[in-house]
Amino acid sequence: MSVLIYVDSENGKIKKAATEVASYGRKVANSLGTQLVALAVNVEDVAPLSAYGVDKVLQLNAPQLTQAAARPVVAALAQATAQEGSTVLLFGSGVNARTLAPMIAARLGAGYVSGVSSLPETTPDFSVKRSVFSGKGIAIERINTPVKILSLAHNAFPIETSPTTAMTVEVFAPTLPEAEYTVTNVERHSGKVALDDAEIIVSGGRGLKGAEHWGMIEALADVLGAATACSKPVADMGWRPHSEHVGQTGKPVAPNLYIAIGISGAIQHLAGVNASKVKLVINSDPEAPFFKSADYGVVGDAFEIVPKLTQLLKDRGSE
Ligand code: FAD
């Protein structure tokens, strides 16, 4: 028996979401009294995983997987599950995980719950909580199959270390099928910080009136080391790329700080950002719905406030 985690990575580097899964996985393994095993595909350095109490790493180095579709990775996951007798498979909240988790669930005939926001109850049944109705309710879901698969809600768990010096690393060489397609190139559209990994997000809405005003959003993001995001109409109008669109139909995000500028706070927008730890809203309309769910609100003209805020932060940074 074991708990198996999938180590999400980019360009050979372990992503923050993977450390969140490892930290969560350690707790699940403890509660089940079992080993924590990690499958790391094309990760250059797996040593950092020992900080989170991983007992064993299956290291799969297959250059052809870097640009391959999900099917070969799912095959590797299935073979790792069989080899390690894994009964719980854990994924983060990133795009890779959202692709792989349902595929491996279908392949293994396993119950799968996505967007999990609690540690599982493991006795008498295996059940977890997840947020539903755009964050307005919590569902408790029981998984009845022998293998259980979970993907975690974004940024929902503290990343806690539990260092071990006993971590073993095993070269893993499963039989891989041909990829059904290959990714030939990936171009980041914008933003120096990836939305998935961002601790802070500066997001703009239709209140900014046009693509030409995004310089002030980027300037504020730069000074904060933040990622940039936008509401749906902004992406629909082509002011910003769709990769920045957050919300119910966009990317769900949950940074430590979400700064919403000129965004009204429609339910569909809130659905994807409400899990942020702290929300700062800047809006000229005191009745804007976003203020109801904001931790901090500034009523005023973004075109006056944002440059001043950026300058203030720059001055503070250089003091
Ligand atoms: P607006 O609603 O036009 O709000 C602009 C805000 O800017 C206003 O509150 C205004 O007071 C403020 N403002 C104006 N001038 C200034 C100024 N100078 N300084 C400061 N503030 C100013 N939306 C999403 O964002 N994400 C989604 O995933 C999403 N999914 C959807 C799915 C469906 C099925 C549907 C029907 C809608 C979806 N929407 C989504 C759209 C959503 O309903 C709203 O229309 C949208 O979020 C509004 O975007 P906004 O806040 O940028 O624009």
Looking at the chain, the whole-number percentage of residues with pLDDT higher than 90 is 81
Residue 67: predicted pLDDT: 72
Q: How far is the CA of 217 from the centre of ligand 1 (A)?
A: 16
Ligand 1 atom closest to residue 290's alpha carbon, by position in its atom list: 9
Residue 53: predicted pLDDT: 97
Q: How far is the CA of 277 from the centre of ligand 1 (A)?
A: 21
Residue by residue, DSSP assigns the chain as: -EEEEEE-EETTEEPHHHHHHHHHHHHHHHHHT-EEEEEEES-S--GGGGGGT--EEEEE--GGGTTB-HHHHHHHHHHHHHHHTEEEEEE-SSHHHHHHHHHHHHHHT-EEEEEE-SPPB-SSSEEEEEEETTTTEEEEEEE-SSSEEEEEPTT-S-------S--EEEE-----PPPSSB-------S-SS-GGG-SEEEEE-GGG-SGGGTHHHHHHHHHHT-EEEE-HHHHHTTSS-GGGBBSSSSB----SEEEEES----HHHHHHHTT-SEEEEEES-TT-GGGGG-SEEEES-HHHHHHHHHHHHHHHHH-
In this model, does residue 64 exceed pLDDT 90?
no
> Could you read off the pLDDT of 88-136 as tens digits, one per residue?
999 998 878 889 999 999 999 999 999 999 999 998 899 999 988 877 7
> Could you read off the pLDDT of 198-254 as tens digits, one per residue?
899 999 999 999 999 999 999 999 999 999 999 999 999 999 999 999 999 998 899
Which one-letter amino acid corresponds to residue 154? H
In this model, does residue 187 exceed pLDDT 80?
no
Report helix, strand or coil for 12. coil
Mutation probe of ligand 1 site: the residue of 231, 259, 293 with most atoms within 8 A of C-beta: 231
Confidence of residue 189 (pLDDT cuts 50, 70, 90): low
Q: Chain-wide mean pLDDT for the chain?
A: 93
Q: Whose CA is nearest to atom 31 of ligand 1?
A: 268
In this model, does residue 190 exceed pLDDT 70?
no
Residue 201 CA: distances (Å) to CA of 18, 152, 248, 257, 265: 20, 20, 17, 6, 15
Which one-letter amino acid corresponds to residue 82? A
Which one-letter amino acid corresponds to residue 50? S
Question: Strand ranges (DSSP E) for 154-288?
Answer: 168-171, 200-204, 227-230, 257-261, 278-283
Kindly report whether the global pTM for this prediction surpasses the value 0.85: no
In this model, does residue 180 exceed pLDDT 90?
no
Residue 31: predicted pLDDT: 96
Q: How far is the CA of 236 from the centre of ligand 1 (A)?
A: 11
Q: How far is the CA of 234 from the centre of ligand 1 (A)?
A: 8
d(CA 315, CA 244): 28
Residue 319: predicted pLDDT: 65
- H helix or E strand, kind and range, residue 9: strand 9-10
Looking at residues 163-176, what average pLDDT do you find?
Answer: 96
Q: Which residues line ligand 1 (CB under 6 A)?
A: 205-207, 231-234, 247-250, 262-264, 266, 268-269, 272, 282-285, 288, 301-303
Q: How far is the CA of 267 from the centre of ligand 1 (A)?
A: 9
Q: How far is the CA of 270 from the centre of ligand 1 (A)?
A: 10
Confidence of residue 43 (pLDDT cuts 50, 70, 90): very high
Residue 286: predicted pLDDT: 97
> Could you read off the pLDDT of 250-281 as tens digits, one per residue?
988 999 999 999 999 999 999 999 989 999 99
Mutation probe of ligand 1 site: the residue of 134, 201, 269 with most atoms within 8 A of C-beta: 269
d(CA 204, CA 212): 12
Residue 179 CA: distances (Å) to CA of 65, 99, 186, 282: 8, 14, 17, 46
Which has more confidence, 118 or 68?
A: 118
Confidence of residue 139 (pLDDT cuts 50, 70, 90): very high
User: Are the beta carbons of 191 and 225 closer than 8 angstroms?
Assistant: no
Q: Which two tokens stand for residue 251?
A: 């990317």
Which one-letter amino acid corresponds to residue 217? I
Which has more confidence, 120 or 190?
A: 120
**In sequence order, which residues have a C-beta less than 8 Å from that of residue 31 and are 6 or more positions away?**
119, 120, 122
Q: How far is the CA of 208 from the centre of ligand 1 (A)?
A: 11
Residue 194: predicted pLDDT: 82
Residue 192: predicted pLDDT: 72
Which has more confidence, 184 or 34?
A: 34
Residue 197: predicted pLDDT: 79
Which one-letter amino acid corresponds to residue 196? D
Report helix, strand or coil for 182. strand
Which has more confidence, 95 or 189?
A: 95
